[in-house]
Each structure stands twice: as structure tokens, then as C-alpha cells.
Amino acid sequence: MNSEADIIIIGAGIWGLSTAYHLAREQTGRSIVVVERNAAVADETTRQAAGQIGQLRRDPLMASAVGYTLELLTGFKEATGHDPRLMLTGSLHLAQCDERMASFEEQLAHARALGIEAEIAEGVLIEQLAPAISLSEITGALYVPGDGYVDARACAHAYCNAARDLGVEIVLNTEVTDLRTCNDSVTGIETDRGPVVTGNVIATAGPWAGRLAAMAGLTLPMQPIRLQQARTTPDPGIPAHHPVVRIPDQSCYLRPEEGGYLFGIFDDDPMAIDPREMPASFATGDIKPAEDIIAGARQRLAPVFPVLEQLNIAQFRQGMITCTPDAGYVIGPAPSVEGLWFATGCGGMGIAGSGSVGRWLADSVLKGACRDDISPFLPSRFKDLDPDSLREACRRICSNYYALNSVTYSLS
């Protein structure tokens, strides 16, 4: 690792890697270094993600953020030679009550206003897309044909390899232990392998962003919260084109993976985790499988997908999503340190928005502005909220993810 760099990115999850790619794509000749504490990239939150890319967002900014990511990933292999493994299968949203169906009608109008293709799905289409669904258990469905999912790790590796091809240095096994500042400007980083001088630091440390912020005497309006899912043993009845299925009345989602189903749940009483209070070595792998919550999710899903009762769990997967009180990302300059940027608060939408996050950060750092107004994501917001209220507000956002009054999913 050189002792100087023009721009340092801390953390090689999907956000750091997309940022590196977008910075390098501008070909400014600046040296860009990604510093990652692990032996491999994308080995924390990103590795655990379901990778679902859903376009229906209440907030038009988020909808366009996902729209750009989809457009980028659709042409990524052709443009860079690296495959993000995007599956454009569409998505089905299932309603189990009239209120939900009414909210889908609103979503339909909203989607069309945003230019997103969507339709109310008839039973024949549902059966054809996802034959295991028990139609008698649902009131109706909304279909979004342009949605899909990626293998999140493969997608992050594609950003990484494309960034490397453009000259980005990825430094592994190196932990950032402190930030250096002078006269309210960033001047470098300290690592366990020595210091690096730089005038630009972008911290994309996911759930560990709070630790980085603390090094600069800052707090961020973000709370890491455990999220869990499980993959079943293979079921030969799953068609290759099976869409992502969201069952918001059960707070659950499901999609195919490795021949089985990957299903997850936003539980009613989610567990907050604060890496600032953990040993520095605390990693995603230290989080225990949430077997009871997964058992509950399977029970909730089984009436709609009876086949789940016959399949064993092949893998539990859990990680931390970073939630905020308004469900918006945390992206922008540090309030009081010139040259220091933060990006966290993914809210379970970090893969879906990864392209835009990278582009916003690259444009903001290189050009001083980006094409969207990302001021709603400023890290300085909620600065008067005490830690307990922040944590509870974030837990509520997570448990209400698919609720009828949700700020993330619903329009009601």
C-alpha cells in the first residue's frame, strides 16, 4: 500500500466497490484506494443479501436510484466484461386482504406515473410464474415485470473487478483504526499497517460506519439491525423464471436460489446491534442464526407456499441492515470535517440502490455536485434525537417494512 492516495474508500462492500468503479470511470488520473479489513471483498452485509432489486418505491428519488442501478447492471457485462449475475425475473406482490389490494391499486398508479411497468396479475399468470402459490390464500397480486435480483456477492465482485481494470487499488487485510484531521479537514487515515496521507476519505463501512464516525467525533442517524433469511433444499418444481415474491401481509419475501427457495422476514421485534459497543473484530459471522424467527417465517409462508413444509433448511443467513428513522440513506459530507464523506443507512435497499450510491458519491467528490438532490440523505439530520429514541425509531422502520402505512413500501 502506498503512503499517499488522492481518494481513500474505507470498506469493500457493494457501496464502496460501486463508488470505486464510478470514481475510476471518470478517468481523472487520481489514485483511488479501497481499504478493507477482511481478506476478501463483499464478505459482510453484502454477502448476506437477497439481492432483490424492486423498483416500486414511495420516494421518487429512491425509485430513480433503483432505476439507474437496473440500467447499469443490465449492460454491465457488455460494458466491463464482468457479470453481476442479474436475473430479470420480475416480481409478484401478493395481497391477502382488501386493504392491501387497494394499496396495490395505488401502487399501480404511482408506478405508471414514474414510468415503471406494472399490472394487476390474474390467477393464470400467477400460476405460470410461481406454480407453488396456493391461489385460495391470496386476494390478488401486483406484477412488476422489470424487477429482478442479483447474486449480491457476484455483483459486488463485478464492480470490484471493473474498478481494478480502471486502476483502483484494493487493499485487503487492512483495518482503518483512526482518521487524521487538521484544521477541520481530513488529512489521512491510520491503519494497522501504517498511515496513509489523503485529502479525501469516503467511509462506506456499512454497519461499522458508526465506529468510523466516532473517530471523527461524530454520530450518524443510523442503527444496525439484524435481518435474517434461510435457503431451503432444492425443489425441482421451481421454474427458472420464478420471480421474487413479496407477501407484505406476512412481512415476508421469497425467491429462488440454488434450486431451492430463499425466504426472509422483517420480524416484529427486531434486534438492534451496535458495533461501537462490540470488540473491533466483531463481524457478520458472529451473529447467531435466528432459527426461531425463521421457523416463524416458514409458518407464515406455508399457507401460500405449502411446499415449504416439505423442504429442509439448507442454510441460515443473517446480517445487519442499517436503518434510519425516515428510511432514507445516510449519504453526504461529514458535518464538520472537510473531505470526509459517509455512506451507510442502506435500509435493506443497498444492493438495489448500489449503482446510484456509487454514482452520487463519485460525482459529489469529483465535481462537487451530482445529478439528483441527495440532501434528504444528509448525515447531519436527526442530530437532536437521543440514542434510545433513534434506536427505537429505526427498529420501528424495520418491523413495519411491509406494513400498510410503511414509509418504505406502501403509499397509504
Ligand X SMILES: Cc1cc2nc3c(=O)[nH]c(=O)nc-3n(C[C@H](O)[C@H](O)[C@H](O)COP(=O)(O)OP(=O)(O)OC[C@H]3O[C@@H](n4cnc5c(N)ncnc54)[C@H](O)[C@@H]3O)c2cc1C
Nearer to ligand X, 140 or 320 (CB): 320
Binding mask 176-215 for ligand X (x = CB under 6 A): x---------------------------xxxxx-------
Q: Are 170 and 163 in contact (CB under 8 A)?
A: yes
DSSP structure class, residue 73:
H
Residue appearing with cell numbers 463508488? 19
| Least distance from ligand X to the Cβ atom of residue 117, Å | 20
By the rule CB under 6 A, 13 interacts with ligand X: yes
In whole angstroms, give the CA distance from residue 326 to residue 222: 10
Binding mask 238-267 toward ligand X (x if CB under 6 A, else -) reads --------------------------x---
Tell which positions 213-242 bind ligand X, by CB under 6 A.
Answer: 227-229
- Determine if 11 is a binding residue for ligand X (CB under 6 A): yes
Query: Measured from the CB atom, is 143 or 342 closer to ligand X?
Result: 342
Minimum separation from the CB atom of position 249 to ligand X (A): 19
* Interface with ligand X (CB under 6 A), residue from 50, 70, 216, 262: 50
Q: Which stretch binds ligand X (CB under 6 A): 5-13, 116-124, 136-144, 402-410?
A: 5-13
Site for ligand X in 119-178 (CB under 6 A): 175-176
Residues in contact with ligand X, counted by CB under 6 A, come to a total of 41
Give the residue carrying C-alpha cell 430479470.
88
Q: Which amino acid would we find at residue 400? A: N
Query: Looking at beta carbons only, is 40 or 393 nearer to ligand X?
Result: 40
Stretch that binds ligand X, among 46-54, 85-93, 359-367, 404-412 (CB under 6 A): 46-54
Give, as one character, the DSSP assignment of residue 270.
Answer: P
The piece of 70-78, 231-239, 316-324, 391-399 that touches ligand X (CB under 6 A) is: 316-324
- Separation of alpha carbons 303 and 320, rounded Å: 28
Q: Which residues contact 60 (CB under 8 A, 6 or more apart)?
A: 114
Residue number, nearest CB to ligand X: 350
Closest to ligand X by CB, 248 vs 319, is: 319
Query: Does 352 participate in binding ligand X (rule CB under 6 A)?
Result: yes
The three cell numbers locating residue 203:
467511509
Q: Degrees (nearest 5) of the Cα angle 410, 316, 12?
A: 75
Residue 408 within binding range of ligand X, rule CB under 6 A: no
Q: What is the amino acid identity at position 127? A: E
In whole angstroms, the minimum distance from the beta carbon of 46 to ligand X comes to: 3
d(CA 384, CA 287): 30
Among 9, 21, 32, 46, binds ligand X (CB under 6 A): 46
List the one residue out of 152, 26, 163 whose CA is nearest residue 82.
163
183: CB partners within 8 A, 6+ apart: none
3-state secondary structure of 293: helix
Distance, in Å, from the CA atom of 286 to the CA atom of 153, rounded to the nearest integer, reads 19
Cβ at position 353, least distance to ligand X in Å: 7
Query: For residue 362, how many other CB atoms are within 10 A of its CB?
Result: 24
Nearer to ligand X, 7 or 349 (CB): 349
Return the C-alpha cell found at 224. 444496525
**Minimum gap (Å) between residue 158 Cβ and ligand X:** 14
Comparing CB distances to ligand X, the nearer of 324 and 344 is 344
Query: In this chain, which of 168, 220, 337, 349 binds ligand X, going by CB under 6 A?
Result: 349
Longest dimension (CA), the chain: 66
Q: In the set 5, 8, 9, 14, which binds ligand X (CB under 6 A)? A: 14
Angle between helices 354-367 and 152-165 (to 10 degrees): 30
- Neighbouring residues of 33: CB distance < 8 A, sequence distance ≥ 6: 1, 2, 5, 7, 8, 9, 168, 169, 170, 171, 196
Closer Cβ to ligand X, 206 or 379, answer by number: 206
**Residue carrying C-alpha cell 423498483:** 55
Taking the C-alpha atoms of residue 57 and residue 35, their distance in angstroms, rounded to an integer, is: 32
In whole angstroms, how close is the CB of 384 to ligand X at the nearest point? 25
Work out how close the CB of 122 gets to ligand X at its nearest, in angstroms, rounded to a whole number.
26
**Residues at the contact surface with ligand X, assessed by CB under 6 A:** 10-16, 35-38, 43-46, 48-52, 175-176, 204-208, 227-229, 264, 317, 319, 321, 344, 346, 348-352
